[in-house]
Amino acid sequence: MIKISASTNPPKEDELVGYVKQLQKAKVDMLHCDVMRSNFVDNECLSLELLKEVKQHTLLPLDVHLMINEPLSDVKQFAKLGVHNITIHYEAFEWKDVFESAVKVIRKNHAFVGLAVNPKTPIKEIIPLLSMVDIVLIMGVYPGKSGQKMLSNTPKKIEELKQFIRTNNINIQIQVDGGVNMENIKELYNAGADIVVMGNALYTAPSKSKLVSEVHKIKY
């Protein structure tokens, strides 16, 4: 069964707690917490303080996605919240030893490690880091803005990573974020995605419970 990680984007910040309660009622699997800083993307959203407030109102596992350059100090703060996983961008680190330090902090706080890759980053570049992570997040759009259409090469990129995982017998989940909707979700699942991040498609759905139920029924 494919899992849904529901994005905290696009709701406004003052709507977020109420929206998260709706998501929990709809039985999504996780809450994808989009943390953005202007040093990595154009927008800024989801402060540590707001995420603390959200956590007080939900039992959903927090799937934290840091869109932040050199995020080691942020990793230390968010990891202490007791989140399910923290995903950091391959492109956010200039030096591998800093990435390794971030991984150690995440593991020390008993969370899973995610590695995100932007559309222009080829899978072959992240292969040396795969032994350190639990999740690879493939971006189907350029990060920073909700509502974008998924780039056409995204399923092929998922397939390439899935083949490497199977060939090398690695225990890694594949997550995809950006432009996921009911028109492309089965193709993403068939390509090898284990978790889909749903933002705008879920936010605008007339019945969130019905959409979640339909996604959970998708099979090969």
Average pLDDT over residues 189-217: 96
Q: How does residue 97 score in pLDDT terms, banded at 50, 70 and 90?
A: confident
Please tell me the distance from the alpha carbon of residue 212 to that of residue 202, in angstroms, as a whole number.
Answer: 8
Average pLDDT over residues 49-71: 93
Per residue in 21-50, is it b (16+ CB within 10 Å) or e — as a string? ebbeebebbbbbbbbbbeebbeeebbeeeb
In the chain, the percentage of residues whose pLDDT exceeds 90 is 81
Q: Of the residues 63, 74, 177, 194, which is catalytic?
A: 177
Whether 74 is a known active-site residue: answer no
pLDDT at 117: 97
- Neighbour tally for 67: CB within 10 Å: 27
pLDDT at 82: 92
Length, in residues, of the chain: 220
pLDDT at 219: 77
Please tell me the distance from the alpha carbon of residue 95 to that of residue 145, in angstroms, as a whole number.
Answer: 27
Please indicate whether residue 44 or residue 180 has the higher confidence score (pLDDT).
180
In the chain, the percentage of residues whose pLDDT exceeds 70 is 98
Q: How does residue 220 score in pLDDT terms, banded at 50, 70 and 90?
A: low
pLDDT at 205: 96
Question: Does 106 have pLDDT greater than 80?
Answer: yes
DSSP-assigned states of every residue in 78-145: HHTT--SEEEEEGGG-S-HHHHHHHHHHHHHTT-EEEEEE-TTS-HHHHGGGGGG-SEEEEESS-TT-
For the chain, give the mean pLDDT: 93
Whether 177 is a known active-site residue: answer yes
Q: Which one is the CATH code of 3-216: 3.20.20.70, 3.30.365.10, 2.30.30.140, 3.30.70.890?
A: 3.20.20.70
Q: Of the residues 34, 63, 74, 194, which is catalytic?
A: 34
Please tell me the distance from the alpha carbon of residue 139 to that of residue 147, in angstroms, as a whole number.
Answer: 13
CB 138 within 8 A of CB 174: yes
- Helix or strand run (H / E) with residue 190: helix 185-191
Tell me how far apart the 2 most distant CA atoms of the chain are, in Å: 46
The pLDDT tens digits of the residues spanning 8-18 come to 988 888 999 99
